[in-house]
Amino acid sequence: MLKILHVDRSEMFRKIIKEMVYRCGHSIESVATQAEALEKIATTPIDLLITSLELDDGNAEELIQSVSVRNESSSATKDLPIIVLTSTDSLELREKFFALGVVDYMLKGEVTEAQFRRYFDALAAADELSTFMRGLRVAVLDDSQMILKIVHRILSLNGFQSIHLFADPLTLINSGELFDIYILDMVLPNMSGEQVVTRLRREQPQSIIISVSRFTGEKPLSHILLAGADDYIHKPFDAAGLITRIKINVRSFLYRRRLEALAITDGLTGLYNHRYSFERLQQEIEKAHRYRRPFSFLIFDIDNFKRVNDTWGHMKGDEVLVLVSQAIKGCLRSVDLVGRYGGEEFMVLLPEIDLEAAKTVAEKILQAVRNLRFSEASLRVTISGGAVQLQAGEDLESLVHRADVNLYRAKADGKDRVL
DSSP secondary structure code for residue 168 in this structure? S
- Lowest-confidence region among 35-44, 84-93, 261-270: 84-93
Give the pLDDT of residue 77: 44
pLDDT for res 221: 72
Q: Are 44 and 3 in contact (CB under 8 A)?
A: yes
Residue 222's CATH number = 3.40.50.2300
419 belongs to a structural domain? no
Does residue 417 form part of some domain?
no
107-117 pLDDT, tens digit per residue, is 888 888 887 88
Distances (CA, A) of 141 to 211, 244, 247: 10, 19, 19
Q: Are residues 226 and 310 in the same domain?
A: no
pTM for this one?
A: 0.51
Q: Are residues 278 and 403 both part of a single domain?
A: yes
Sorted by sequence, the CB contacts under 8 Å of residue 23 that are 6+ apart come out as: 113
Per residue in 2-24, pLDDT tens? 888 999 988 899 899 898 888 88
What's residue 127's pLDDT? Answer: 56
Q: Are 184 and 193 in contact (CB under 8 A)?
A: yes
Residues 206 and 252 occupy one common structural domain:
yes
Q: Which of 92, 100, 117 is nearest to 51 (CA)?
A: 100
Task: Mark out the alpha helices in 313-413 (DSSP H runs).
Answer: 314-329, 355-370, 396-412
Same domain, 250 and 322: no
Asked whether residue 84 falls in the same domain as residue 137, the answer is no
pLDDT at 146 over 70: yes
Same domain, 247 and 278: no
- Average pLDDT in the chain: 87
Domain that holds residue 369: 274-412
388 pLDDT higher than 90:
yes
- Whether residue 196 is contained in a domain is answered as yes
Res. 321 pLDDT band, cuts 50 70 90: very high
CATH number at residue 366: 3.30.70.270
Strands 27-31 and 162-166: unpaired
Provide mean pLDDT across the span 167-182: 91
Give residue 218's pLDDT.
Answer: 54
The answer to whether the CB of 31 falls within 8 A of the CB of 10 is: no
Return the closest-CA partner of residue 123 out of 240, 269, 289, 5: 240
Of 398, 309, 399, give the one whose Cα is nearest residue 348.
399
Domain closes at, from 213, 238, 263: 263
Nearest to residue 180, comparing CAs of 210, 153, 158? Answer: 210
Together in a domain, 244 and 279: no
Q: Would you state the pLDDT for residue 409?
A: 96
Question: Are both 306 and 383 inside the same structural domain?
Answer: yes
pLDDT at 76 over 50: no
Nearest to 210 by CA among 179, 175, 255: 179
Phi and psi at 331, nearest 5°, equal -100, 0
Report the pLDDT value the prediction gives residue 128, as an integer from 0 to 100: 61
pLDDT of 75 = 45
The 8 Å CB, 24+ separation contacts for 228-236 are 228/197, 228/198, 228/200, 228/201, 228/202, 229/184, 229/197, 229/201, 235/147, 236/94
Report residue 323's pLDDT band, with 50, 70 and 90 as the boundaries.
very high
Count up the domains in the chain and report the number. Answer: 3
Phi-psi category of 342—alpha, beta or left, where left has phi over 0 and alpha has psi -120 to 50? left
- Asked whether the beta carbons of 378 and 313 are under 8 A apart, the reply is no
Q: Average pLDDT of 24-45?
A: 87
Please name the amino acid found at residue 348: V
- Angstrom distance (rounded) from CA 419 to CA 416: 10
Asked whether residue 324 is domain-assigned, the answer is yes
Q: Which of 412, 415, 413, 390 is nearest to 401 (CA)?
A: 390
Long-range contacts: 215-219, Cβ < 8 Å, 24+? 215/186, 215/187
Residue 335 has pLDDT above 90, yes or no: yes
Q: Does residue 269 belong to any structural domain of this protein?
A: no
Q: Which of 123, 142, 158 is the last residue of a domain?
A: 123
Q: Assess whether 229 and 251 both reside in one domain.
A: yes
- What pLDDT was estimated at residue 27? 87
331 versus 122: the higher-pLDDT residue is: 331
pLDDT for 135 = 82
Are 219 and 205 in contact by the 8 Å Cβ rule? The answer is no
Domain assignment present for 406? yes
Is residue 204 located within the same domain as residue 243?
A: yes
Percent of the chain exceeding pLDDT 90 equals 43
Beta strands (DSSP E) in 79-135 are 82-86, 104-107
Is residue 221 a part of any domain in this protein?
yes
Q: How confident is the model at residue 99 (pLDDT cuts 50, 70, 90)?
A: confident
How confident is the model at residue 333, as a pLDDT? 93
Residue 169 has a pLDDT of 92
Q: What is the pLDDT of residue 79?
A: 65
Task: Name the residue among 50, 53, 59, 60 with its Cα closest to residue 87.
Answer: 53
